[in-house]
Structure 1
């Protein structure tokens, strides 16, 4: 499946305003204003000015929070979004509920305590963001993330993303049997998305500090559904054609005998 643009001119607008440039503008704006976020449970609250509000919306970081304060705009950042702005881009400071500024290691430990799988999810999130994909929660589709080629106002999400590693694969029990694959692939097909499995390999390293991320590796696999009805051998008296599927190292195609 390729990108499904929303309306005439959407692709041209995306090409004219690359996501990398928008994120760079946000990074500069947050750095200049010495922005601080506030830890609040499993998210971070960020007060934004007019310029930052526009850039946060354009770069798809966080979600606006409706409040009674007309002169202020707050954004709720997920843990992955907040740590990416703080650790990877270095443009956001985060304080705890005690107003104590958290360094990267303290923030890492806090987020791990809130969700055991945070290191795996953050590695997958940052892996996609570095490649300039827009990453949003995929809970409504039964996956971990959905990935967009550009802003969701311009294009539909292209990938439904599942994050797996040695630990969370066993803990969550996902994609361990054929029926799991079948259900997930059918769901992705019904909403016109390709299933992307991101496997985090820790290479024998733990997750004690964010420095461990440099030791991790990421393996991507797209999984698609193959229908024999669409790819059967065709023979006529004049010609004889054989269709062969040769998946690359980054694609797994499963054959189903029935549609």
Structure 2
């Protein structure tokens, strides 16, 4: 990834005050759920440093989750654990929210008619409403200038070209939303206000939903997640979870329970997606879903609250033996050659939002060389490989030189 250069926008998200950026640096400062505790400087620490030893302590949170095979996801119902996973690495999404699990905060803000700190979804709704109002005000100002020009032509016979800019036409730099009128200070408090103060907070009905690659990365690489069987409420070992995640992508007739061993395949969709997810997470990128931009993954340098995504990733499986694709019962997405019209469309969509498109080719080993029995353990990942191809759209106006 060191040879890949982003094609567009850098820096923090525009329009964000410095105080809010400082809060984000404090709240989302940990890139992973693990926390490293460094003891204060001392002679013992200095001596251990000379010997190549350290007294640094690693704190690993232990978060309980439930495997849900029908939705191919893992649920974290504990609010504290969900907050840790989101604020330390941006793992998962709230099932009742756009990304950050903020359903409870939105409910409290709606009861109070606006809170002191808006959630990310409320900020997005506010910006969209202001953008819509700006377009309406600008259209009204242009219509007023045009009507004034017509009145001058009817009265004096003089042709006046309506101006599309000027003091009377609002622009994105000068327009400001109208201030909200506050209630008079002498308005007596209504009984409803007292009820809201004494009312209990609503029950949190939201849970954090992890994709299968996210969940396995947390439990296998970081050892901070434990997954429970929803039928027996028993903790599942890593090997059973590995098999269950693969079986969730098979036909329902082949999947019985997390403890069963179905017929595993080398081209399982979970394997292909996890390999790409693990690849970029290991390189330090924050990996999020990219369905909004018609891709598989989005790569963030620090996270969605700091910067926009710099790269868009499309996962492209490649069979080492083409005969395996003909005999496979799995219809992998993008396994067959895609037309240039599709590639041009995807590339244009991502170029318009200043993102570099990456095609991540995952080579699937041949069945004649690898036995399917190796799929019962994560050790099978050593037989797969990832290659990256960067695709850039040629824009004559930007690339004249």
TM over 0.5: yes
Contact 2:60 2:223 in 1 (8 A): no
Task: Find the counterpart in structure 1 of residue 91 from structure 2.
Answer: 61
Task: Find the counterpart in structure 1 of residue 233 from structure 2.
Answer: 99
Aligned pairs (5 A) from 1:151-166: 151-166=303-318
Q: Secondary structure at the match of 2:302?
A: coil
Contact 1:14 1:150 in 2 (8 A): no
Aligned pairs (5 A) from 1:179-190: 179-190=341-352
Following superposition, the deviation at residue 14 of structure 1 comes to 7.8
Q: Secondary structure at the match of 1:162?
A: strand
Following superposition, the deviation at residue 185 of structure 1 comes to 0.5
Task: Find the counterpart in structure 2 of residue 236 from structure 1.
Answer: none
Distance 2:23 2:74 in 1: 31
Following superposition, the deviation at residue 102 of structure 1 comes to 1.8
Aligned pairs (5 A) from 1:86-165: 86-97=219-230, 98-115=232-249, 116-165=268-317
Task: Find the counterpart in structure 1 of residue 333 from structure 2.
Answer: 172
1:49-103 residue CA offsets vs partner (Å, 9 max, x unmatched): 53x3432222211223558974797321111111111112122111112223222
Task: Find the counterpart in structure 1 of residue 76 from structure 2.
Answer: 46
Task: Find the counterpart in structure 1 of residue 208 from structure 2.
Answer: 75
Distance 1:85 1:110 in 2: 16
1:105-146 residue CA offsets vs partner (Å, 9 max, x unmatched): 221222212223110101111111112211111112111111
Contact 2:33 2:60 in 1 (8 A): no
Task: Find the counterpart in structure 2 of residue 218 from structure 1.
Answer: 386
Which gives a bigger RCO, structure 1 or 2 (Cα 8 Å, sep 6+)? 2
- Aligned counterpart in structure 1 of residue 35 of structure 2, from 25, 32, 38: 25
Change (3 A) 1:185 1:49: closer
Gap regions ≥5 residues in structure 2: 1-6, 37-57, 96-102, 105-200, 250-267, 320-324
Contact 1:20 1:132 in 2 (8 A): no
Distance 1:191 1:56 in 2: 28
1:199-244 residue CA offsets vs partner (Å, 9 max, x unmatched): 1124444571321113322212211112345445xxxxxxxxxx6x
Contact 2:356 2:392 in 1 (8 A): yes
Q: Does residue 37 of the first structure (1) align with residue 170 of the second (2)?
A: no
Contact 2:64 2:78 in 1 (8 A): no
Following superposition, the deviation at residue 24 of structure 1 comes to 2.0
Distance 1:223 1:114 in 2: 33
Give the structure-2-normalised TM-score. 0.50
Give the structure-1-normalised TM-score. 0.74
More strand by share: 1
Change (3 A) 1:74 1:225: same
Distance 2:384 2:21 in 1: 34
Mean CA deviation greater in 171-180 or 111-120: 171-180
Distance 1:14 1:221 in 2: 33
Distance 1:37 1:136 in 2: 20
Distance 2:59 2:205 in 1: 20
Q: Secondary structure at the match of 2:35?
A: helix
Change (3 A) 1:124 1:19: farther
Q: Return the index of the structure with the highest Cα Rg.
A: 2
Root mean square deviation of aligned Cα = 3.3
